[in-house]
Chains A and B, each alone.
Chain A
Amino acid sequence: MPDANGDREQKIRERQQLLEASSIGWMFPIAMGIGFGWGWGMDKLFGTKPWLTIIFTAFGVIAAFINLFKIGLRDDGGTK
């Protein structure tokens, strides 16, 4: 039954794509939160407030955007 297998694979692929797309929503705050939390903790540890918070938050925001671009700009071979 090759058609049934093909349909199932198609459904799985669609579900994976849906999950990846919906991950944009929670990956953003998680990436930024991790950056902010890590910097804040390091600042507390080394007494460098607020520099490490700034630097690591910036890393978190950049990581979140890079992840967004990876998902949002996938399959763009046709336009390159």
Chain B
Amino acid sequence: MTGSDVVFLLPEIILSIGASLLLIAPVIGWRSKETSAKWATLLLLAITALAVIICSNVVENLPQTASYSAMFALDGFAIFFKLLFIAAIAMIVLLSDDFLRESRYSAWEYYSLLGFALIGMMFMVSGVHLASIYIGLELMSLSSYILAGFFKNEEKSTEAAMKYFVLGTVSSGILLYGISLIYGVTGSLNLLTISKAMSTIITNDALMFGIMLLGAGLCFKIAAVPFHVWTPDVYVGAPTPIAAFLSTASKGAAVAIFARIFYVGLHDFQLDWSNILATISALSMILGNFAALTQDNVKRMLAYSSIGHAGYVLLGILSLNTMGLRGVLIYTLVYVFANLGIWATVLMLRRHAYAGERVDDFEGLHKRAPFWAFAMVIFLLSLGGIPPTAGFIGKYFLFAAAVQSGFGWLAIIAVLMSAVSMFFYFRIVVAMYLREGPEAEVAITPALKLVAGVSLAVTLIFGILPAPLINQATQSSNWVAGRAAILGHAGR
């Protein structure tokens, strides 16, 4: 490893050292200083974000032949997602603060695990080699399994963690088997080399089988139908801030690698896998949105809604054009912030560990907390894709990309399912504004206010003035598009 190689990995190295220090902090006598854990984690995240920005500027001036660029890239695509994940984890740290204080579990261990999960996510989005992508994915997944069962004395939390662990490890095994088959046929794990090898292969049963297994593993991670069944149980059982983490940052990381692998690595495979993804996308949108209609538990509703959103984001991946890639970036950002805002509002309604979860809990919220009830409406409108929220911009790019690629029928299904989704989103709005609820106290802490406020600002500002977001997404997606251009398949 040369000095220039270190620059590629510097943010991850800083975060690894910081997360390890968080883990050993209780051992060196800081166990009682639980509030310091939050501030130490936020400081670590700020330093990591700064390192990402500085290193990305330094890397721009380095020769592209640097050895790490074969496995690891610090390109616009990676930087966009890294900064998004750092912001999301910072907000999850804020969401977790009161939750941890009440639960009396070690905050140091919890934040350190979030840090390790973030390292995994940052590694994944920078990976241009299936081995580095897999290592990042596993680091994120292993941390997530522990976090889902972090509240050891809560039966639901342990059960959710166990289910997530068993199902997640099998899907990781399937993904790894797919990777091994692809390696066996193409002789490489580097996405560019795989792509070049694929353009010369007309049909190969082992390769086709490998791609299918890789796709199944990735579909499990983003919770697309028919690999979605774990989602509602895990979201309901996991502690609420961890459910927020799983539905936003963790899912966003899986979407990012899905896009990179299929856009750069598997683009040139002669068999058109777009049709398979189109079927999965349609099923996810239909099943996710219709199943959400009948849910009374908000966490379960959000879980099914997230399955529907996996279907929308697949539109951007299967369309394989620059608009689709931009759509994936924009939609992931918009989805992460709107969802974090909703989770913050759910936590405001918490009266004990697992309350604030039912639609009934939202009754009369406009009287108890008028501003946050309004914020909730904006978040729900954004998830539904209604202007002038940022969700509309994200959906516009995804649907337009699908139409451009000849998947007009899928765009029609997507529009119809967006209309269906408004029914269950509006159940919460009706409960908040048209029903009288108990005069119960809402726990609006400064941390929750900050998370909901930032989410609201992002959702509204990018909805009304989307140009900066679109420009940034265009710049960030250019690297992947540029790599695709080298291979001669850009802008299909």
Contacts and interface: CB of A to CB of B under 8 A. Distances in A.
Contacts of A34: none
B167 A79 contact: no
B203 A49 contact: yes
**Secondary structure of the B side of the interface?**
helix
Contacts of B233: 73, 76, 79
Categorize the interface residue count of chain A. Answer: 20 to 34
B155 A54 contact: no
Nearest to B300: A80
Interface string B54-66: 0000000000000
Contact of B208 (A53, A68, A72, A76): A53
Contacts of A50: 203, 205, 208, 271
B271 A54 contact: yes
A61 B210 CA distance: 11
Interface string A1-34: 0000000000000000000000010001000100
Interface in B148-200: 155-156, 159-160, 163, 166-167, 170-171, 174
B220 interface: yes
Interface in A37-60: 40, 49-50, 53-54, 57-58
Contact of B216 (A24, A40, A65): A65
Contacts of B203: 49-50
B133 interface: no
A53 B156 CA distance: 41
Nearest to A69: B229
A24 B170 contact: yes
Contact of A65 (B156, B226, B237): B226
A78 B226 contact: no
Interface string B209-231: 10011001000100000110110
Interface of A: 24, 28, 32, 36, 40, 49-50, 53-54, 57-58, 61-62, 65-66, 68-69, 72-73, 76, 78-80
Interface of B: 155-156, 159-160, 163, 166-167, 170-171, 174, 203, 205, 208-209, 212-213, 216, 220, 226-227, 229-230, 233, 236-237, 271, 276
